[in-house]
Amino acid sequence: QRLKAAVHYTVGCLVQDVAEDKEMQFSKQTIAAISEITFRQCENFAKDLEMFARHAKRSTVTTEDVKLLARRSNSLLKYITQKSEELAASNMEQKEKKKKKSSAAKGGRTSGEQEAAVTESEDSNMA
């Protein structure tokens, strides 16, 4: 019920913005109908995402499942793909920072310093 109320509130805000922009009004019945359709569509999306993950023998929904769901809307698919790539890049940056912090905290060398040390030891072994 709370989720349904939140959807109704959000739809009401969006409809109000559109109404002001287009200089028109929407009845409460229209807003309620849009809210109900939106809520049902979200339920369908959730079921589809579960099925996509289950079909792939996974228990977790991934970004690939979401992209599959959005495949019929080119603009939405493009947006989701872009955001997914941004998140992946951000996660990689954070992992790199964690690696550097953990190796520095252990008094270890960075990967570049380790390579230099290996090269030095190899050179001294050859002499």
Domains and CATH numbers, the chain: 1-59 (1.10.20.10), 62-97 (no CATH)
Confidence of residue 117 (pLDDT cuts 50, 70, 90): very low
pLDDT tens-digit map of 30-63: 999 999 999 999 999 999 999 999 999 999 999 9
- Distance, in Å, from the CA atom of 80 to the CA atom of 9, rounded to the nearest integer, reads 25
Tell the burial category of 72 from Cβ atoms under 10 Å away from its Cβ (0-12, 13-18, 19+).
exposed
Cα(63)–Cα(16) distance, integer angstroms = 32
Can you give the pLDDT at residue 120?
A: 44
- Asked if 7 contacts 35 with a C-beta cutoff of 8 angstroms, the reply is yes
Q: What is the pLDDT of residues 70-105, one digit of tens each?
A: 999 999 999 999 999 999 999 999 988 888 888 777
**Whole-structure pTM value:** 0.67
